Structure formats: C-alpha cells, structure tokens
Amino acid sequence: MSGHTSLNTFIFSDKIDAVYMYEMYENDYGYIETMFKAILDGFKEDLAAIRDNYLQKNLESLRKSIHKIKPTFGFAGMLDVQEKCKEFESKCQVVKSVGELETDFPALIKCLEEAGVIVTEEYKKLKAFNKSGS
C-alpha cells in the first residue's frame, strides 16, 4: 500500500490501498467522499447487527451480517479487512455453533472497529480536502 505523492492528490492513510482506490475512483475525490459517507451511514447499524447476532448465538444471521459488511471495506480500499470478513464468513459455514467462534470473534470486531475509525478519519480529511478546492 502506498499513497500518491503528487500535488493536488489526496494522500490516503497507509491502511488504505491507494492504488486500488485509483482503480476504483481515479482521482474523483468528491465521489470518494460520497462513498465514504455512504459507508459510514450504514456502518454502525451493520456492526451492531453483527454483535447482536453473536450474542443471540444465531450462526446463520451472524454469517449474513458479516457477508453484508464485507464488501464495504473493499469500496474503502481496505482489502485486508474485507479478506478477514471473508475468512470469518467461511468459518461460519464450517462450525456448528457460535460458541466455536469465541476466539475469532473479538479479533474480528476489533479489526472492524479500527477500520471504522480509519474510514471516519479519512472522510473528515477528504471533506476538508475537497472543500479547500485542492
């Protein structure tokens, strides 16, 4: 992962794959800002659904809620987070009960929370960047 360094180019967090972001959006930062907003609009609710389904020990609903949130991070250029969701979703299809996921689940939640913070920070930076007309 590496950020672009030329002038008039937004420099993404090193947790975001800048090359991939370019492939997705070119340098349309207004568009990326809109996308990050859309991601954040649904993020809290989707994360809460994951937690609820885990607490309710509902394996299929847990898998579905992970499946739903998974591509979100791809759209934000965080392919490693998407991959972790994919791995967890696959585990949901293999195990027989939610109890078997008790070591993997906290790690996944931590990863998602950190990803949420990064997207929030990047969104704020992008807003300021776009507002400045750079």
Partner 1 sequence: MRCVIVEDLPAAAEYLKKCCEKSGMIEVLAHCLSVKDAIDFLSKNSVDLIFLDVEMPEGRGFDVLDNITCSSKVILTTSKTEYAYSAFEYNVTDFLKKPFTYKRFMEAVKKVSGSSTEIQKENGGEDHIFIKSDGKLVRLKNDDILYIESMGDYVRFVMQERKYIALNTIKNLETKINSQLFMKVHRSYIVNTSKVDNVHENTLLIKETKIPVSKAFKAEVARRFHSI
According to CB under 8 A, which one of 16, 29, 33, 39 is a site residue for partner 1?
Answer: 39
Which C-beta is closer to partner 1: that of 99 or that of 127?
127
Cβ-proximal residues to 58 (8 Å cutoff; 6+ apart), any chain: 98
Q: List % helix, strand, coil for the chain (3-state, nearest 5).
A: 75, 0, 25
According to CB under 8 A, which one of 42, 60, 83, 87 is a site residue for partner 1?
Answer: 42
Cα separations in angstroms, 52 against 28, 57, 64, 98, 132: 36, 8, 12, 12, 41
Least separation in angstroms between residue 29's CB and partner 1 is 13
Does residue 38 bind partner 1 (CB under 8 A)? Answer: yes
Question: Residues interacting with partner 1, by CB under 8 A?
Answer: 23-26, 31, 34-35, 38-39, 41-42, 64, 67-68, 70-72, 74-75, 82, 86
